[in-house]
Structure 1
Amino acid sequence: MFSVTGVLFSLVALATATPTLGFGGSKNCTKVLPPPRTAGKLAHVGVNIAGFDFGCGVDGTCTAAGAWPPLAEYYGHDGAGQMQHFVQNDGFNTFRLPVGWQFLTNDLESGVLNSTNFAKYDTLTCLGTGAHCIIDVHNYARFNGEIIGQGGPNDTTFAQLWFNIASHYKFESKVIFGVMNEPHDVPDINLWAKSVQKAVTAIRLAGARTQMILLPGNNWTSAATFVSNGSADALAKVVNLDGSHTNLIFDVHKYLDSDNSGTHDECVTNNIEEAWQPLTQWLRCNGRQALNTETGGGNTASCVTFLCQQIAFQAQNSDVILGYVGWAAGNFDTTYVLSEVPTQNGTTWSDTLLTQSCLSPKSGSQKGSTS
């Protein structure tokens, strides 16, 4: 048991309780709903600061030793300096900080945070910049190959991890909780939604009552299939302690290369027709919102064209698409295919082509053409 604002709460009860659902299912609006006149400016624009997630495989087999903290004293890449540059030079206001579950804790069952490793991770948090920080557990809905709540760690274990993390950040209004990076090949989306519900409940019970929580779907939380694969309908039933959906935001990803893998430096689509138009329609119809926490491309002319178009469309629909977080800066080498790592020369930082042309709010991409 643990104490939450003076009330003893059992994680066993949390794992077995059925939440009171304030939403019975999604609506299917046949009429296209246009954005309101107030739309036009994205609330969250930024970059992933990678490194603490290095050593993680897509089967959730992260190793703490494989992490490369993007801290100047470890591997020379100054994640904090990058964030300061991005805020001051580009106007970014949101950073996502991926981290492996195994890096955070030595004890799976209790979820007690490894004090040494967590202190390193906490050092990177971008609160000193004034920006929002997304705490992203980067394990693909798994731990060492086994799916959370479906043969792997049970919901109680997952909830305990998030209770411990949220307890540390409960008074930080600019911390955003990213429940899990890119679930994929999850057999039962409704069981996954129940696991997400336990994490949300634990975060709120830890005292983080108002911060945003990001809810990820199946199929790598793809924006193109978020509705069609049942993720939207299942996750729409996840609620806060009071039964509301306030600040429960859908977490979606979308790359622009030929196979949506984010492994090619050329882009072939702006994703508007196949992904963003149907998703914005569903979100507006159902009164929900999403945040695109991974997107990007190579530093090529094709990616400048298509990503600028995608961002412009998202801005035009900013009532339901809250923003984007590019992949990725941090501890990647500048030769990485999707590098957004700024080059440092003394005290001067220089942005990549894609950052200068599209990702930076100062590029004007939010007002560009989507045709």
Structure 2
Amino acid sequence: MKTSLSGIALAFLPSILAQAQAPAWGQCGGIGWTGATTCVSGSACVETNSYYSQCVPGATPTSSTSYMPTTTPAPGSGKVKFGGGTCSVTGAYPPLVQYYGPDGKGQMTHFVNDDGFNLFRLPVGWQYLVNGVLGGPLYNDTFSIYDTLVQDCLATGSYCIIDIHNYARWNGEIIGQGGPTNEQFADIWSQLATYYQNEDRIIFGTMNEPHDIPDIGLWAQSVQAAVTAIREAGATTQMILLPGNDWTSAATYVSDGSAAALINVTNPDGSTDNLILEVHKYSDEDNSGTHAECVTNNIDDAFAPLADYARGQKRLVLNTEFGGGSGNDCITDIGQQLAYLNQNSDVYLGWTGWAAGSFLAGYTLDLSPVDTNGTWVDTPLVAQALVPAFSGN
């Protein structure tokens, strides 16, 4: 049996093109980062966490750094509904050829037409959207570039995840817990939801990988503020993703209290329709996604217990980030993991792999296809694990 539609959380979206110097608000460090580690004049590299540092203007540098399913599961079809990949847009050079980046549109078109994927995750920095003004309006010069990528995604007929990729923080300060207020967080989502309210294939990814959150109950209140803002802006039927603490790990989503807190997040009418539990899970030795080698398929310690929980709560789950190298170890482990999601498609909607686009050559988890004389060629992991899991070929 195969998981139904798996919104191809394999939906790869190209990441930002690495430059000699990282642009303002671009990534400049972190475990596994192989791009620029210095910033353009006027910005300094500030560590958000051990996996992510960002160029912050005026800062002092720190050390490195429509059919939509309801949330009541239906009998599994033996195939996830969504399959796709992830694309980062966190700097000045997005994965679009008209902005001197790689051919993100071509990559997405290939993933859809040749591989059968139907979901793309499009990460973007909150600061990038508002030109660094907390609580400010969408900044047309940068938002219009991001929207170009979104429109290219929609043009493929796929579902497209709007993913604010800030780890529950603004310049290192936690939303609703000493950093941005819930009202400021709700405001950015209200603006985005107003803009995309009539796009049935937009999925709202409220926040990438919250971590080290002191109070999970307060975090659930922040997520609730975003959900309410999205629905009240007119986006009443689209899916909204609910990310937990600990990098929203599938292995700890229940045990760390995230599930118990987020299960109480509702739509304004009190329903939970299209409020989807969001998880990530890597297969390397420390679950960091920084090693090419895979050591686990994550079934027994993560996806099986979570399936039992979601089934008991009558909720749906989307795995929006996983990846590995292209060795036989990862092809086997990730292939088994995706097969398990297919077998439990009553609760697992699908997945998106990390990541394709404009990574530097040699990036550990690069899933970018290569355009060879007009023919796109996938990485071994995509060709031998992701495509068979979703298309059945």
Q: Same fold (TM over 0.5)?
A: yes
Q: Which residue of 2 aligns with 1:231?
A: 258
Q: Which amino acid aligns with 1:144?
A: N
Q: Is the Cα contact below 8 Å between 2:6 and 2:350 reproduced in 1?
A: yes
Equivalent residue pairs, number: 329
Asked whether the 8 Å contact 1:51–1:68 carries over to 2, the reply is: no
**Matched residue, 1:55:** 27
Query: Is 1:48–1:329's contact at 8 Å kept on the other side of the alignment?
Result: yes
Deviations 1:139-193 (A, max 9, x none): 0000001000000000000000000011110000000000000000000000000
More helix by share: 1
2:227 & 2:237 partners in 1: Cα distance? 11
Deviation string, structure 1 residues 315-361 (Cα, Å, up to 9, x no partner)? 1011111111000001113421111000012321100000001112x
State yes or no: 1:354 paired with 2:317: no
Aligned to 1:162: 189
Tell me if the contact between 2:321 and 2:353 (Cα under 8 Å) persists in the aligned partners.
yes
Of the three residues 242, 245, 252, the one matched with 2:279 is 252
CA RMSD of aligned residues (A): 2.0
Distance 2:228 2:374 in 1: 44
Using the TM superposition, give the Cα deviation of residue 127 of structure 1 relative to its aligned residue in structure 2, in angstroms.
0.4
| C-alpha separation in 2, matches of 1:334 and 1:142 | 29
**Equivalence for 1:97:** 122
Q: Provide the C-alpha distance between the structure 1 equivalents of 2:149 and 2:284, rounded to a whole number of angstroms.
A: 30
Q: Partner amino acid for 1:41? A: S
Matching residue within 312, 315, 327 for 1:285: 312
What residue number does 2:342 align with? 315
Describe how 1:1-371 pairs up with structure 2 within 5 A. Answer: 40-45=3-8, 46-51=10-15, 54-55=26-27, 58-59=48-49, 62-63=54-55, 66-106=91-131, 108-125=133-150, 126-360=153-387, 363-364=388-389
Partners of 1:239 and 1:364 lie apart in 2 by 32
Counterpart Cα distance in 2 of 1:63 and 1:164: 25
Q: Which runs of 5+ in 2 are unaligned?
A: 17-24, 29-46, 57-89
Offset, 1:261: 0.5
Judged with a 3 Å threshold, the aligned counterparts in structure 2 of structure 1 residues 205 and 63 are, in CA distance, closer, same or farther, namely farther
Kindly state the Cα deviation for residue 91 of structure 1 after the two structures are TM-superposed.
Answer: 0.3
Per-residue CA shift, 1:211-238, capped at 9, x if unaligned? 0000100000000000000000100010
Asked if structure 2 preserves the Cα contact closer than 8 Å seen for 1:315 and 1:367, the reply is no
CA distance in 1, matches of 2:258, 2:136: 27
1:126-145 residue CA offsets vs partner (Å, 9 max, x unmatched): 10000000000000000001
Separation in 2 of the partners of 1:322 and 1:108? 35
Shift of 1:198: 0.2
Displacement, 1:72? 1.2
Alpha-carbon separation, structure 1, partners of 2:146 and 2:55: 15
1:48, distance to aligned residue in structure 2 (A): 3.2
Query: Aligned equivalents of 1:213 and 1:111: distance in 2?
Result: 23
CA separation in 2, counterparts of 1:40 and 1:157? 38
Residue equivalent to 1:14: none
Q: TM-score, normalised by structure 1?
A: 0.85
Kept in 1, the 8 Å contact 2:323–2:365? The answer is yes
Write the distance in 1 (CA, Å) between the matches of 2:286 and 2:110: 32
- CA distance 1:205–1:284, shift in 2 (3 Å): same
Gaps of 5+ in 1: 1-36
* Closer, same or farther: CA 67–273 of 1 in aligned 2, 3 Å: farther
Deviation at 1:364, TM superposition (A): 4.5
Q: Is contact 1:54–1:68 with CA below 8 Å preserved after alignment?
A: no
Distance 1:365 1:91 in 2: 8
Equivalent position amino acid for 1:70 in 2: P
Distance 1:94 1:334 in 2: 24
**Offset at residue 103 of structure 1 (A):** 0.4
Of 327-336 and 66-75, more deviation after overlay is shown by 66-75
Greater mean deviation of Cα atoms: 91-100 or 328-337? 328-337
* Deviation, structure 1 residue 70: 0.7
The question of whether the paired residues in 2 share the 8 Å contact of 1:61 and 1:143 is answered with no
1:328 aligns to what SS in structure 2?
A: coil
Q: Percent identity?
A: 55
Distance 1:364 1:190, change over 3 A: closer
Q: Which amino acid aligns with 1:44?
A: G
| Counterpart AA for 1:55 | Q
Question: How far off its partner does 1:61 sit?
Answer: 6.2
Cα offset for 1:366?
7.5
**Letter of the 1:121 counterpart:** Y
